[in-house]
Structure 1
Amino acid sequence: MTDITATELKERQSQHTAPVIIDVRETWENEESRIEGSRNIPLGELPGKLDDLKDLRNAEVVVHCKGGGRSASAKAFLQQQGFTHVRNLIGGIQGYQAG
């Protein structure tokens, strides 16, 4: 599945059709700034949280971090685990806040 732009995500949020959003930054980063409705699961903790996420295997999931690097790793990991609709937020939260 293709990645998502900040503009598309904001439009989806305003239409109340936003996908599940997972912030893979560290907890302290999430506490400084966050996308409303997102769930914080730091990248290093993601493997241990797979059981909690099993209901999302076929749901649209957007992963994000600060700029896109960690979330690209998270996307690849989740796809390897059988998640079928994972998208990376292009530009991360920096792009989201700038747009």
Structure 2
Amino acid sequence: MQQITVKELKSRQDAGENIILVDVREDHEREEYNIGGIHHKLGDIQNMDTEALDGFKDKEIVIYCRSGKRSLNACLILESLGFENVVNLEGGVLAWKEEIDN
């Protein structure tokens, strides 16, 4: 599993790359603040409910959460299910708020 910093992600987005983002936080967290992407909660991934993501098995997917811990867990599970290129967003939304939206 790879890691990406918020600055690296923002730079790639600004360069026009089409990056698949997956937010694994809970509904109320996403309502408070989000940086976009597909919403697919960690609990669903833990229950092996990945049908909504299965079309991305061979594509790079950047997974994020609040701090980077739940997304790390999600990355490990997705890799075990055959996802080939999952990337954890280091520091999650907290780092994004601090380094990008500050």
Query: What's the TM-score bracket when you normalise by the shorter of the two chains?
Result: over 0.9
The aligned amino acid for 1:43 is L
Displacement of 1:2 after TM fit? 2.0
- The sequence identity of aligned pairs, in percent, is 35
Structure 1 spans left out of the alignment, 5+ residues:
none
Query: For the Cα contact (< 8 Å) 1:9–1:18, is it kept in 2?
Result: no
Structure 1 stretches (4+) deviating beyond 6 angstroms?
A: none
Root-mean-square deviation (CA), in Å? Answer: 1.1
Q: Look up the match of 1:43.
A: 42
The secondary structure found in structure 2 opposite 1:95 is: helix
The 5 Å alignment of 1:6-85 reads 6-36=6-36, 38-46=37-45, 47-48=48-49, 50-85=50-85
Normalising to structure 1: TM-score of the pair? 0.92
The aligned amino acid for 2:28 is W
Displacement of 1:16 after TM fit? 1.7
Q: How many angstroms apart in 1 are the aligned matches of 2:4 and 2:18? A: 11
Q: How many angstroms apart in 2 are the aligned matches of 1:63 and 1:35? A: 11
The secondary structure found in structure 2 opposite 1:66 is: coil
The secondary structure found in structure 2 opposite 1:3 is: strand
Q: Look up the match of 2:87.
A: 87
Displacement of 1:13 after TM fit? 1.1
String of CA shifts for 1:31-73, please: whole Å, max 9, x gaps.
100003x11111001222x122111001000001100110010
Displacement of 1:24 after TM fit? 0.4
Q: How many angstroms apart in 2 are the aligned matches of 1:31 and 1:16? A: 26
The secondary structure found in structure 1 opposite 2:70 is: helix
